[in-house]
Amino acid sequence: MKRRSVVVVLVVVLAVGGVGIALGTGFGPESGDKDASSSDFPTQTPTPTQMSSPTPSEDEKSDSTEDAPTSGESTPEPPFVFQIDEIEKCGQTCRDVTSTLVNQQDADATGVTVYSRIFVGNSTDADDEIWRGSEEVGNLPAGESYSTTRRVKLSLSEAFAVQQADGWITIQTTIETDEQTLTYSERRDVI
């Protein structure tokens, strides 16, 4: 009888801890909210970078070093900046996340779509994906920005998986335009 009580208490503690992890994340994926229309995410093989440092697509890579900055030259700004503006609580494991995409180029960007995925730990393996979403922006004039709010949730099992990864998640954002595809990756400790 005593052993059964200990097991029940342990299960309750783990469940409450999972909810705590979900609350501590500030945002999380909505269970079953993986966009059916976004099954084909156009991402490259990502390298761990900050959100402000895109990974160029294969078409944009060049064997030439003519465009590489030389000593004394500054690195050019990335064509886009993607930032999280606000995170609002909408439930125990729910967050409304407002983000903004800024076109820093001198030219308009056409056919813009933003794809985002969240993974448990320092991985971008499909098995570690806990949320995905996409937003069709359309045309984004030079110097202009586009803001949107998405609702994301964590299930208790997803929150527990984040806890098992010591609170680490990887956020992968791909910006696809008619001219280019850029992937940004960022790791965050959300506990």
- Whichever domain contains 8, its CATH number is 2.60.40.10
Q: Are 154 and 148 in contact (CB under 8 A)?
A: no
**CA R_g for the chain:** 19
Say if 11 falls within a structural domain.
yes
Question: Parallel, antiparallel, or unpaired for β 129-140 and 80-91?
Answer: unpaired
Burial class (CB in 10 A: 0-12, 13-18, 19+), 50: exposed
d(CA 12, CA 128): 25
* Structural domain for 90, as ranges: 2-57+77-189
Q: What is the pLDDT of residue 99?
A: 92
Say if 63 falls within a structural domain.
no
Each of the 191 residues of the chain gets a pLDDT tens digit; together they read 555 444 444 444 444 444 444 444 444 444 444 444 445 677 654 433 334 444 444 444 444 444 455 556 677 889 999 998 988 888 767 778 899 999 999 999 999 999 999 999 999 999 999 999 999 999 999 999 999 999 989 898 998 898 899 989 999 999 999 999 999 998 988 77
> For the chain, what is the domain count?
1
Q: Name the 3-class secondary structure at 82.
A: strand
Say if 64 falls within a structural domain.
no
Picking from 16, 13, 185, 37, the residue whose alpha carbon sits closest to that of residue 93 is 16
